[in-house]
Chains A and B, each alone.
Chain A
Amino acid sequence: MQTRPPSNIYLYLMIVFSIAVLGYSVWMLYTGLLSMKEGNMENFYYTAFISLVGIMLALSSLTQIRRRVSILPRLGARVLTVALCDKCNFKVMRNFAAGDYVFKEAGKCQQCNETMYISQIYQEEPKKKQD
């Protein structure tokens, strides 16, 4: 049985390669513009074409990697337990602990000593734009 998570080495290599292609293409475009200033139009057309293709490929590859990486935080989201006091509405928020469930008694209220209960258990919203 495979227990190790799939390796991310290809992902990192892909990022490094895409950034390298992007950097090289931008530099190529810059030198192409310099040759246009010098009046070497043939060289300019050639380098502009090749560098634009390179920039597009690198950007497309980086966008795909970003999409793949963006799903990772969702898997590690925190689940919170909210305990509430019926009498004084005092609220305690903490990490979910095994055995917690909604409407379970959650100890005494720190403010009025009344019995608190778990009013909510929910997954914390990841800090990113909504889908």
Chain B
Amino acid sequence: MIPLFSATGLPLGPSGDLNTIISLLMYLSFILFMFFGQKIQVRLMLLEVDGAVKRLEYMRNDAKLLALKTVKEVGKPKEDPTPELNMMLEQFLISPEGMDPAGLVWKLDHILNVRDMKFKDDVKKIAPEADESQVNNLENLIEASQAMNTIYRIVRHFYLLGKKTSSFYIILQIQMILPLVMQEAEALIGAARAFSQGQPIGDGAGALVAAKLMRGKEKRKLDRDIVAAETMIEGRRVIPLKAEGPGGNVGKPGDAMKRIIEESNGKIAMVIMVDAALKLEGDKTGDLSEGIGAAIGGPGTERFKIEEEAVRHKIPVYAIIVKESIMEAIAPMKKEISEAAELVLARIRKLILDRTKEGDIVVVAGIGNTVGIGQ
């Protein structure tokens, strides 16, 4: 009989019989792992992905409920907006065919314009009492919920497909990127909360800088939700522009820039673009970097328009970026990012002094989502 306790009082102490059993168990586990190692690994990975799918489902529902609650509170719809909201969460966009790339940008721009207009109309329909700024915030909130819904569905797709096929490589794909996916989902939940309350997000760093330049000056509205003003810095005429706040909005800075350049007959000495940009791990949030080129993200159509105009009129385009992570860009604005705006203004002043002369016209474009930032 195997003694349950050894002389030291420990359960299963060393004895001849026990050594044999342990050796046998080791051989057995070795054989087991040799034949079923990958299956065991697949089961463990599926368990991990299953937990993530459940968490994502909760987060997706949380974002959806938040959107529904905000729509009801702000928009005061007469009918239940749930079916319309569900439809909006599943909306998609088909990119134009790229086999013949000529004119692709304008095709994409057109599709994006139609999509933006339809989405805004849909939001107005389910939130008839919301004002323009609230409609913009609701639009962004529903977009965040839409992104959460897409993430959940993609992870669930790979999970179920992996479960169905027991394919190690299908499950491995999703398991490997799971930490990044979960981080992004958490940031999206933060973004949904920020949009529901109209709090500034990290992406608004550029808009904040332009707003600081505009404060107290007369503003005028340009195309598609963009506002511009005029101010003087060291004898130079500076035209700051940004998306119209405080509702969540990015506007169409490309079109606005084209209009300003045309109004000045192309006599712009310099364009400075300020935007939030992705930092690399190890970089400090809120640090600045200076460069050349159009600092603007998104699908690329606005960058194309700015580059086209800059080349046509030979206008140098400078970029100042505020470093932040993807999570910080869509979460409520951090103190470091908010404080970086003053440092950006100092850089703009230095650039203007170094690269232009008195009487020149300079355009400062504050790029990014202007939620929670007025002007």
**Does B246 sit at the interface, judged by CB under 8 A?**
yes
B10 touches A101 (CB 8 A): no
Query: Please, which residues of chain B bring their CB within 8 A of the CB of A104?
Result: 246, 374
A123 touches B373 (CB 8 A): no
Task: Report the contact-size class of chain B (Cβ under 8 Å from the partner).
Answer: 35 or more
Known A-B contacts A100-B372, A102-B374; the reply to A122 vs B58 at CB < 8 A is no
Distance in angstroms between the alpha carbons of A85 and B10 in the assembled complex: 72
**Does A17 sit at the interface, judged by CB under 8 A?**
no
**Does B253 sit at the interface, judged by CB under 8 A?**
no
Distance in angstroms between the alpha carbons of A47 and B54 in the assembled complex: 40
What sequence of 0s and 1s flags, for each residue 100-131 of chain A, a beta carbon within 8 Å of any chain B beta carbon?
11111000000000000000111111000001
Distance in angstroms between the alpha carbons of A104 and B199 in the assembled complex: 13
- Among the listed A6, A28, A131, which residue makes an inter-chain contact with B54, where contact means beta carbons less than 8 Å apart? A6
A2 touches B57 (CB 8 A): yes
**Does B356 sit at the interface, judged by CB under 8 A?**
no
A1 touches B61 (CB 8 A): yes
Residues in A61-96 with C-beta less than 8 Å from chain B: 71, 74-75, 77, 79, 96
Q: Which of B111-119, B154-162, B331-339 contacts A (4 or more CB under 8 A)?
A: B331-339
What sequence of 0s and 1s flags, for each residue 1-26 of chain A, a beta carbon within 8 Å of any chain B beta carbon?
11111100000000000000000000
Q: Which of B1-9, B35-43, B223-231 contacts A (4 or more CB under 8 A)?
A: B1-9
A121 touches B58 (CB 8 A): no
Chain B CB within 10 Å — which of A4, A32, A40 has the most? A40
Distance in angstroms between the alpha carbons of A5 and B58 in the assembled complex: 6
Query: Please, which residues of chain B bring their CB within 8 A of the CB of A131?
Result: 325
A100 touches B375 (CB 8 A): no
Q: Kindly provide the distance from the CB of B282 to the nearest chain A CB, expressed in whole angstroms.
A: 10
Whose C-beta in chain B lies nearest to the C-beta of A98?
B197
Query: Please, which residues of chain A bring their CB within 8 A of the CB of B7?
Result: 40, 43
A98 touches B58 (CB 8 A): no
Query: Please, which residues of chain A bring their CB within 8 A of the CB of B6?
Result: 43
Known A-B contacts A99-B198, A102-B200, A121-B338; the reply to A2 vs B58 at CB < 8 A is yes
A102 touches B55 (CB 8 A): no
**Does B189 sit at the interface, judged by CB under 8 A?**
yes
Distance in angstroms between the alpha carbons of A34 and B10 in the assembled complex: 12
**Does B129 sit at the interface, judged by CB under 8 A?**
no
B189 touches A123 (CB 8 A): no
Whose C-beta in chain A lies nearest to the C-beta of B284?
A130
B8 touches A35 (CB 8 A): yes
Distance in angstroms between the alpha carbons of A31 and B6 in the assembled complex: 11
A101 touches B333 (CB 8 A): no
Q: Kindly provide the distance from the CB of B370 to the nearest chain A CB, expressed in whole angstroms.
A: 9
A6 touches B331 (CB 8 A): no
Query: Please, which residues of chain B bring their CB within 8 A of the CB of A122?
Result: 200, 332-335, 337-338
B8 touches A3 (CB 8 A): no
A31 touches B9 (CB 8 A): yes
Query: Please, which residues of chain A bring their CB within 8 A of the CB of B334?
Result: 122-123, 125
B65 touches A46 (CB 8 A): no
Query: Please, which residues of chain A bring their CB within 8 A of the CB of B65?
Result: 1, 3
Query: Please, which residues of chain B bring their CB within 8 A of the CB of A47?
Result: 8, 10
**Does B77 sit at the interface, judged by CB under 8 A?**
no
B8 touches A100 (CB 8 A): no
- Among the listed A74, A75, A96, A103, which residue makes an inter-chain contact with B373, where contact means beta carbons less than 8 Å apart? A103
Query: Please, which residues of chain A bring their CB within 8 A of the CB of B54?
Result: 6
B8 touches A43 (CB 8 A): yes
Residues in B28-78 with C-beta less than 8 Å from chain A: 51, 54-55, 57-58, 61, 64-65
**Does B362 sit at the interface, judged by CB under 8 A?**
no
B246 touches A96 (CB 8 A): no
Whose C-beta in chain A lies nearest to the C-beta of B54?
A6
A75 touches B246 (CB 8 A): no
Whose C-beta in chain A lies nearest to the C-beta of B64?
A1
Query: Please, which residues of chain A bring their CB within 8 A of the CB of B58?
Result: 2, 4-6
A123 touches B374 (CB 8 A): no
Whose C-beta in chain A lies nearest to the C-beta of B331?
A123
**Does B313 sit at the interface, judged by CB under 8 A?**
no
5 closest A-B pairs by CB:
A101-B246, A103-B374, A123-B332, A46-B14, A122-B338
- What are 9 residue pairs bridging A and B, where the CB atoms are less than 8 Å apart in the complex? A1-B64, A35-B8, A43-B10, A47-B8, A79-B197, A101-B374, A104-B374, A120-B338, A122-B338
6 additional A-B residue pairs with CB within 8 Å, beyond A1-B65, A40-B7, A122-B334: A31-B8, A40-B8, A100-B198, A101-B198, A101-B246, A103-B374
